[in-house]
Amino acid sequence: MTEARRPTPPSEGAPARIPLSRPIIDEVDRRAVLEVLQGSTLALGPRAQELEERFSSRLGASCVLVSSGTAALFLALRALGVRGGRVLTPSYGFVATAHAISLAGATPHFVDVDPRHGCITPETLEEAGAGEVSAVLPVHVFGTPAPVVEIRDWAVSRGVPLIEDACEALGTLCAGLPAGTIGDAGTLAFYPNKQMTMGEGGLVILRDPGVAERVRRLRNQGRTPGVMTFEGEGFNFRITEMQAALGLAQLSRVDEWNARRSALAAEYREAFAAMPGVETWAPISPDRRRAGDQRSWFTFPIFLKDTATRDLVSARLATLGIETAPYFPAIDRIDPYRRSPRSPESLPVTTSLSGRGLALPFHAGLTVEERRSVVEAVGRALHPV
Ligand SMILES: Cc1ncc(COP(=O)(O)O)c(C=O)c1O
């Protein structure tokens, strides 16, 4: 066996018996990717174009595929002219959002979230007292619909662009519209723990086709699509045809998987309702549901009494073969964001949620047996005999 073909050695430690997430990759996906390798167009080809068209008609907006969710956020900011100043965003979320803002040359200014749904609101934006800002960047955390219609009004009144980070929210609806389509720009991500995967990949969603063309040029070294002319700055955030082929195969099944995720979340919620000391993510309120909000579950966090309990339960679950993760560490406590204008004490809801949240194994392929094992293990970890 040659060096190049030797199987990858397992990563450190024994793998968890029940991992946090597992992508669904079957024969349809494998065939789709192999078919690409029988041809010679390996990047930015017909499959990428078809996938962009499928997303455009699904979402009702212009769509540009890029190499990751982080790249999508960066290019959205860049194409909307954000190169500096403060971008209002939650600290309760994945650190990539802040990294993308920094990469664009701006500074994340952290805003607290509403305890009822974990997202920022016009009220928490007001409380942040940021003064002059250059953009607003809410996150649909865990696939929860953030109140982006109200946030859009806030952004319009201040004349700043709204970029929705919907990287965890493919399938989420806000007032009946797909998450990511209400702002000036929105983003999706396709890492293997997401609702669907391309291995790596991201999507920029844009209301203005002219801005979409700008993203297309920025993605590909400033090149005008179809011709050999270049204009302005540029980067390489292209995607391969292998990624696009996998994306096409996955997109046709994502609604079915999201329905399974939703049923699994309902099952977990019911099981944990009977377990003292465990809180789950609040359901969408009846008035928001009536207004057309709908959640696509990215992951399922539980919230324990305090950080010490959370860390103890997590360690005990690891010994029982159940993978968990603290979700999410507050971004304003991670270097290099510690010295951002807001101090951790001024984000009380974020501090509480991030100190107590624990993500459990959650994906569309989780078996009945695995689900039962997770619930039983959480009970044992909380009350060891
Ligand atoms: C909310 C959020 N934003 C951005 C990203 C970045 O996406 P990627 O890892 O594809 O760069 C992620 C990825 O997990 C995310 O969850």
Q: What is the mean pLDDT of residues 351-356?
A: 96
Reply yes or no on whether the pLDDT at 1 is more than 90.
Answer: no
At a CB cut-off of 8 Å and minimum separation 6, what does 123 contact? 114
Looking at residue 225, what is its pLDDT?
Answer: 87
Helix (H, G, I), strand (E, B), or coil: what is residue 2? Answer: coil
Q: What is the mean pLDDT of residues 247-264?
A: 98
Q: Which atom of ligand 1 is nearest to the CA of 189?
A: 10
Does 350 sit in the ligand 1 pocket, CB within 6 Å? no
Q: Is residue 21 part of a domain?
A: no
Max CA separation in the chain (angstroms) = 70
- Do 215 and 288 fall within a single domain? no
- Do 101 and 226 fall within a single domain? yes
- Do 146 and 159 fall within a single domain? yes
| Cα-to-centroid distance, 75 and ligand 1 (Å) | 14
User: Helices 241-251 & 27-37, crossing angle to 10 degrees?
Assistant: 150
What is the pairing mode between strands 135-136 and 86-90?
Answer: parallel
**What is the distance between the alpha carbons of residues 80 and 212, in angstroms, rounded to a whole number?**
10
Reply yes or no on whether the pLDDT at 13 is more than 60.
Answer: no
pLDDT, tens only, 164-184: 999 999 999 999 999 999 999
Indicate the top mutation candidate among 20, 70, 243 to test ligand 1's pocket, ranked by most ligand atoms within 8 A of CB.
Answer: 70
Q: Is residue 195 part of a domain?
A: yes
- Do 240 and 264 fall within a single domain? no
- Do 246 and 341 fall within a single domain? no
Q: Which atom of ligand 1 is nearest to the CA of 201?
A: 10
Radius of gyration of the chain (CA): 21
Looking at residue 344, what is its pLDDT?
Answer: 52
Domain count of the fold of the chain = 2
Looking at residue 384, what is its pLDDT?
Answer: 81
pTM for the full predicted model: 0.95
In this structure, the number of other CB atoms found within 10 A of the CB of residue 363 comes to 24
**What is the distance between the alpha carbons of residues 202 and 183, in angstroms, rounded to a whole number?**
17
Looking at residue 129, what is its pLDDT?
Answer: 79
- Do 124 and 236 fall within a single domain? yes
Domain at 285, CATH number: 3.90.1150.10
Q: What is the mean pLDDT of residues 16-20?
A: 90
Q: What is the mean pLDDT of residues 286-313?
A: 97
Task: From 208, 236, 251, give the residue that closes a domain.
Answer: 251
Which residue lies with its CA nearest to atom 8 of ligand 1?
A: 69
Looking at residue 7, what is its pLDDT?
Answer: 37
Peptide bond into 328 cis (omega under 30): yes
**What is the distance between the alpha carbons of residues 78 and 74, in angstroms, rounded to a whole number?**
6
Does 144 sit in the ligand 1 pocket, CB within 6 Å? no
At a CB cut-off of 8 Å and minimum separation 6, what does 159 contact? none
Q: Which atom of ligand 1 is nearest to the CA of 70?
A: 11
Q: Which residue has the higher pLDDT, 136 or 1?
A: 136
pLDDT, tens only, 125-146: 999 877 889 999 999 999 999 9
| Cα-to-centroid distance, 243 and ligand 1 (Å) | 17
Does 70 sit in the ligand 1 pocket, CB within 6 Å? yes
Which residue lies with its CA nearest to atom 12 of ligand 1?
A: 167
Reply yes or no on whether the pLDDT at 324 is more than 80.
Answer: yes
Band (pLDDT 50/70/90 cuts) for residue 11 is very low
Q: What is the mean pLDDT of residues 17-21?
A: 96
Q: What is the mean pLDDT of residues 276-301?
A: 95
Reply yes or no on whether the pLDDT at 10 is more than 50.
Answer: no
Q: Is residue 99 part of a domain?
A: yes
Domain at 182, CATH number: 3.40.640.10
| Cα-to-centroid distance, 310 and ligand 1 (Å) | 24
CB 161 within 8 A of CB 135: yes
Q: What is the mean pLDDT of residues 213-233?
A: 95
Chain-centroid distance of CA 266 in Å reads: 21
Reply yes or no on whether the pLDDT at 353 is more than 50.
Answer: yes
Task: Tally the residues of the chain.
Answer: 385
Looking at residue 15, what is its pLDDT?
Answer: 64
Sign, CA torsion 267/268/271/276:
negative
pLDDT, tens only, 102-121: 999 999 999 999 999 999 99
Does 138 sit in the ligand 1 pocket, CB within 6 Å? no
- Phi and psi (nearest 5°) for 274? -90, 5
- Phi and psi (nearest 5°) for 87? -110, 120
Task: From 251, 273, 307, give the residue that closes a domain.
Answer: 251
Q: Is residue 11 part of a domain?
A: no
| Cα-to-centroid distance, 189 and ligand 1 (Å) | 6
Looking at residue 178, what is its pLDDT?
Answer: 98
Does 96 sit in the ligand 1 pocket, CB within 6 Å? yes
For the chain, what is the mean pLDDT?
A: 93
In this structure, the number of other CB atoms found within 10 A of the CB of residue 234 comes to 14
- Give kind and range of the element (H or E) at residue 247: helix 241-251
Q: What is the mean pLDDT of residues 345-365?
A: 94
Look up the domain containing 154 and give its range.
27-251
Looking at residue 128, what is its pLDDT?
Answer: 87
Q: What is the mean pLDDT of residues 221-241?
A: 95
Band (pLDDT 50/70/90 cuts) for residue 226 is confident
Does 164 sit in the ligand 1 pocket, CB within 6 Å? no
Task: From 228, 251, 274, give the residue that closes a domain.
Answer: 251
Looking at residue 131, what is its pLDDT?
Answer: 82
Q: Is residue 246 part of a domain?
A: yes
Residue 164, CA atoms < 13 Å, CB-side half-sphere: 35
